[in-house]
């Protein structure tokens, strides 16, 4: 057994920190949504739940979030929602430890939802998960895949989950190990993983671990198509050792909330977390203004033709930025008299109002048109 499976290292803490931030937002949103009666959470490599050094793994993060959101909403007189959890690990001893810890700490009550433990091989479990997501009415699902390696994981599995149009997926990959063998002695598992995404002879050369992650993200996007959103969160375990969480969804609001969670951890770039080595510069050194300059440069090209507020909202997210960033950049361009803004109803535009948000995207996506002057 690897040390990382029994000891929570700092990079693993960051992984579950992002998971916790997102799942709290996810449950809060769905508990208030009238269209849903239930949430299903699937943790397909759940492990033991608690590391030997006391670190909390994903099953415990899930259970605490469910409990916190339920009782907070109940105290505020808000709608509550049941959350069914399935914790799976091939080894029975691991799920037994998770179960015992949850019972010991009283992290679950029947009124919170169903709690089930499975001991299935991931490849065999995946089709059953897809079927369960598909047949459960008035529900949304979140699938967390944190495998022991990557040998069993395929992009087609992710696609089968997304095609239900009822689920989000968070996938952790040991991209540093994959990158190390990309060109020299690549194992069969890596060949198979890449070849499902793109012909092996078309795979671009990666000069760094970051390049590999970006190439993989692009390959995921091309494989899945425009109807699905893909994003990444880079975690640096040690200097120049990069691992990555990949997030997949068919829902743009879920995508926005994941971006929001990322920016809460990485205030400068919303891109990842870097190992704190006092003798070396960190990976992500750009200031917020540097990062916004990149968005401004994108807008200077994107807005050469007239765009609606809905189009700008979607394009902003695809660039890895939040709507608030778009508004900040647009206000700066407006202050320099570089924008032509017209309202679709012919009314006079109120300066500083750009309507770059999810509600307007859904209900008034063509409320205004913006173009560089």
Confirm whether 283 is domain-assigned. Answer: no
Which domain covers residue 118, as residue numbers?
A: 3-273
Single out the residue in 223, 240, 273 at which a domain terminates.
273
Q: Give the pTM.
A: 0.87
**CATH at residue 187:** 3.40.50.150
Per-residue pLDDT tens over the stretch 123-174: 999 999 999 999 999 999 999 999 988 999 999 999 999 999 999 999 999 9
Single out the residue in 273, 299, 327 at which a domain terminates.
273
Confirm whether 282 is domain-assigned. Answer: no
- Per-residue model confidence (pLDDT) at position 358: 96
Using alpha carbons, list the distances in angstroms from residue 212 to 164, 178, 262, 281, 332. Answer: 29, 8, 20, 21, 34
- Per-residue model confidence (pLDDT) at position 277: 42
Adjacent-strand bridge partners of 241: 238
Q: Give residue for tokens 């069969």.
A: 188
- Per-residue model confidence (pLDDT) at position 337: 94
Under 8 Å CB-to-CB from 290, ≥6 apart: which residues? none
- Per-residue model confidence (pLDDT) at position 46: 96
Confirm whether 38 is domain-assigned. Answer: yes
Under DSSP, is residue 49 helix (H, G, I), strand (E, B) or coil?
coil
pLDDT under 70 in the chain at which residues?
1-12, 182-186, 238-240, 267-291
Q: What are the backbone angles phi and psi of residue 195, rounded to the nearest 5°?
A: -65, -25
Q: Indicate whether 208 and 309 sit together in one domain.
A: no
User: Which residue from 7, 110, 4 is spatially nearest to 67, judged by alpha carbons?
Assistant: 110
Strand locations in the chain (E): 38-43, 82-88, 115-118, 139-145, 167-173, 229-238, 241-249, 272-273, 307-308, 339-343, 368-372
Q: Indicate whether 120 and 21 sit together in one domain.
A: yes
Confirm whether 65 is domain-assigned. Answer: yes
Q: Is 367 exposed, middle or buried (0-12, 13-18, 19+ CB in 10 A)?
A: middle
Per-residue pLDDT tens over the stretch 3-49: 444 444 455 677 888 888 889 989 988 988 888 999 999 999 999 99
Task: Give every strand in the sheet of 339-343, ordered side by side.
Answer: 307-308, 368-372, 339-343
């Amino acid at each position: 057994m690897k040390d990382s499976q029994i000891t929570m290292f700092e990079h693993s803490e960051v992984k579950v920190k992002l998971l916790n931030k997102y799942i709290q937002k996810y449950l809060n949103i769905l508990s208030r949504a009238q269209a849903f009666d239930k949430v299903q959470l699937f943790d397909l490599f759940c492990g033991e739940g608690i590391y030997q050094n006391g670190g909390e793994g994903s099953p415990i993060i899930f259970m605490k979030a469910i409990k916190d959101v339920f009782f907070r909403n109940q105290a505020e007189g808000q709608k509550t929602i049941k959350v069914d959890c399935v914790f799976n690990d091939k080894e029975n001893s691991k799920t037994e430890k998770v179960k015992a810890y949850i019972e010991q700490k009283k992290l679950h009550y029947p009124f919170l939802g169903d709690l089930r433990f499975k001991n299935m091989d991931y490849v065999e479990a995946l089709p059953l998960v897809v079927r369960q997501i598909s047949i459960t009415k008035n529900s949304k699902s979140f699938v967390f895949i944190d495998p022991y390696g990557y040998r069993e994981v395929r992009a087609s599995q992710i696609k089968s989950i997304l095609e239900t149009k009822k689920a989000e997926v968070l996938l952790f990959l040991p991209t540093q190990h994959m990158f190390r063998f990309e060109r020299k002695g690549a194992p069969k598992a890596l060949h198979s993983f890449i070849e499902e995404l793109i012909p092996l002879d078309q795979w671009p050369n990666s000069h760094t671990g970051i390049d590999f992650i970006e190439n993989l993200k692009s390959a995921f996007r091309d494989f899945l198509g425009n109807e699905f959103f893909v994003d990444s969160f880079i975690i640096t375990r040690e200097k120049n050792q990069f691992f990555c969480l990949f997030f997949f969804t068919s829902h743009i609001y879920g995508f926005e909330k994941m971006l929001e969670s990322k920016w809460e951890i990485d205030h400068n770039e919303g891109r990842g977390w870097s190992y704190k080595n006092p003798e070396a510069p960190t990976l992500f050194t750009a200031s917020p203004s540097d990062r916004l300059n990149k968005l401004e440069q994108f807008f200077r090209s994107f807005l050469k033709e007239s765009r609606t507020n809905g189009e700008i909202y979607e394009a902003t997210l695809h660039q890895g930025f939040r709507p608030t960033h778009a508004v900040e950049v647009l206000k700066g361009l407006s202050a320099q008299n570089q924008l032509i803004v017209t309202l679709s109803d012919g009314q006079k535009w109120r300066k500083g109002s750009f309507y770059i948000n999810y509600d307007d995207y859904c209900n008034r996506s063509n409320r205004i048109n913006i173009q560089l002057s």
